[in-house]
Amino acid sequence: MGQDKRRLLIIGGAFSGNFTAREMKSHFHVTVVDAKEFFEYTPGILRCFVKPQHFDSLSFTLQPVYERKMGVKFIWGEVKKLDGEKRNATIKTMYSTTEDVVSFDFCVVCAGCNFGPFAKNGESLWFPVIHEESRKISAWSHIDERFFEGRRRHILEEFHKLSDLNKKKAKLLVVGAGFIGVEWVTELEHFFPDLHLTIIDFLPRCLGPLPDIAAEYCSEYMHSCGIKEFYGKKYEKSNAFYAELELPEGPDCEYVCIGVKASNYFMPAETLSDKGPGGGGWIHFNQYMQVTKKPAPGQSIGELYADGKIFAVGDCNYGCIGDPSNWVMPPIPKISYPGEEQALHAVINLERVAKGKKKLSPTWWPWGAGMFATSLGPHDACFVMAANENKGSGYMVNWWIPAALQKEIIETTKIDECKDRLIGKLIWHFVHHTPCHLWGRGACWAKPIQEPKKA
């Protein structure tokens, strides 16, 4: 592209946004916009609520890293509207009462998602409440989590709440026994041993679709710690339901650890799904990670939006192409690693589009989507690889203290990479650019997502 660099706008400064900025800074004039001032390592945030000092090792301020180290521009503000046809984004920057319009040639949406499906704004402990309309109805609206110290204050408030409950030997109910629920209940048990803990799930066992051996390992751990488990239970707030859980007077506190919810408020309605987890609102995309309009009846992939100049990667997109009767690409778990894999696929195609090339590389169900590291407190864990969309797939390849150490190493090196430091970048560049993977659907034998045949 020579001296005439194009303008690239990245919406979201978490894993996928950070990765995209680092990959594209040499080829584009890159601007990253995020509604919060800090990076947060979401996979490790659970421990912060039971051990607040851990937050310091999981987070950092974005502006110095982006502008001083990476050499890209950073805007601390919320994208209120994205207009793909006019190639601009309406942004309300921090401290401003008015809105600015920022133009771009290309855009990559890496906005993530929320985790509270029962809350109107999708709020939960696992992700800060940062959007303007969400903050108005937030259960902790007295805290502004767009600020680093605001997030820290919320963590401290929850920690003191749990400390008081522990002193009272309170009864806590964790709803959802997926990897988030299992991690949360075991963290609570380790740091607050006087709590009486119960975990439930609608499925017949914990860890949902993961292999039986991993579920049995986690279940045995929870049983040995005195955590009560109830499966095949549909959550409801009623005396009869609580009686089934041996909580006749109900729990003193509940934590819901199920599902996800879209937060793509700024996207045009024509690009968002009418269905999906949390009631829909996910960004439609094609096999090249480009944003599309809603598919017409009988179609799996919709018409290109904004001439294919906008891409959506990670947790913000629909996560699949097609429907259960005819998957073009089955649903991908909304976890950090496949988001970065998709970002790599997107930046390859973005560069080709920018150079006027018509042949793009189709994405695939990334092998990293089948890796799950589930903590069982700070000294135990299990690690599953090679899982796919089929129930019970994958292998538990590491467990106990070695798995716990593995997760610590992943966390430490990943944050080092996101801070644009050498060791982390060397390790994770190799991970994302390895031409062949020994487990799952590696790049050499993965089945690319092709255009469905027209009827």
Band (4; pLDDT cuts 50, 70, 90): low
**What three-state secondary structure class fits 52?**
helix
Q: Are strands 372-375 and 73-83 parallel, antiparallel or unpaired?
A: unpaired
**Maximal C-alpha separation, the chain:** 71
Residue 291 and residue 284 in contact, taking contact as beta carbons nearer than 8 Å:
yes
- Judged against a pLDDT cut of 90, whether residue 364 lies above it is answered with no
Report, as an integer, the average pLDDT of 124-150.
94
Q: Which ranges of 89-194 would DSSP assign to H, the alpha helix?
A: 132-136, 148-167, 179-191
Alpha carbon distance 401, 326 (integer Å) = 42
- Residues facing 363 on adjacent strands: none
Report, as an integer, the average pLDDT of 271-282.
92
Q: What is the pLDDT, as a whole number, of residue 434?
A: 66
Q: Are strands 196-201 and 100-103 parallel, antiparallel or unpaired?
A: unpaired
- Judged against a pLDDT cut of 90, whether residue 208 lies above it is answered with no
**Average pLDDT over the chain, rounded to an integer:** 91
Of 117-121, 210-214, 380-384, the one with minimum mean pLDDT is 117-121
Alpha carbon distance 291, 109 (integer Å) = 9
Band (67; pLDDT cuts 50, 70, 90): very high
Extract the tokens encoding 122. Answer: 């999708």
Residues 7-26: tens digit of each pLDDT: 999 999 899 999 999 999 99
Q: What is the pLDDT, as a whole number, of residue 438?
A: 54
DSSP letters along 332-359, please?
A: ---SHHHHHHHHHHHHHHHHHHHTT---
Task: Using a cut of 0.95, tell me whether the model's pTM lies above it.
Answer: no
Q: Which helix (H) or strand (E) holds 395?
A: strand 395-399
Residue showing tokens 């996560």? 319
- Judged against a pLDDT cut of 50, whether residue 87 lies above it is answered with yes
Alpha carbon distance 399, 26 (integer Å) = 40
Alpha carbon distance 149, 137 (integer Å) = 20
- Residues facing 8 on adjacent strands: 30, 106
Alpha carbon distance 435, 340 (integer Å) = 15
- Residues facing 35 on adjacent strands: none
Residue whose C-alpha is closest to residue 377's, from 404, 399, 409, 402: 404
DSSP state of 76: E
Which comes out higher in pLDDT, residue 447 or 427? 427
DSSP state of 197: E
- Judged against a pLDDT cut of 80, whether residue 305 lies above it is answered with yes
Q: Which domains, ranges and CATH numbers included, belong to the chain? A: 6-117+261-363 (3.50.50.60)
Helices vs strands, H then E, count in the chain: 12, 18
Distances (CA, A) of 126 to 49, 57, 154, 300, 351: 10, 16, 11, 32, 34
Residue whose C-alpha is closest to residue 210's, from 446, 329, 383, 342: 383
Q: Which ranges of 365-442 would DSSP assign to H, the alpha helix?
A: 400-418, 422-433
- Judged against a pLDDT cut of 60, whether residue 440 lies above it is answered with no
- Residues facing 326 on adjacent strands: 323
Q: Name residues whose C-beta falls within 8 Å of residue 268's C-beta, 6 or more positions apart in sequence.
A: 82, 83, 84, 305
Q: Which residues of 403-442 are buried (b: 16+ CB within 10 A; e: fewer)?
A: bbebbeebbbbbbbbbbbeeebbeebeebbeeeebeebbe
Sheet architecture: strand order including 253-256: 228-231, 196-201, 171-175, 253-256
Residue 133 and residue 265 in contact, taking contact as beta carbons nearer than 8 Å:
yes
Report, as an integer, the average pLDDT of 294-308.
92
Single-letter amino acid code for the residue at 16: S
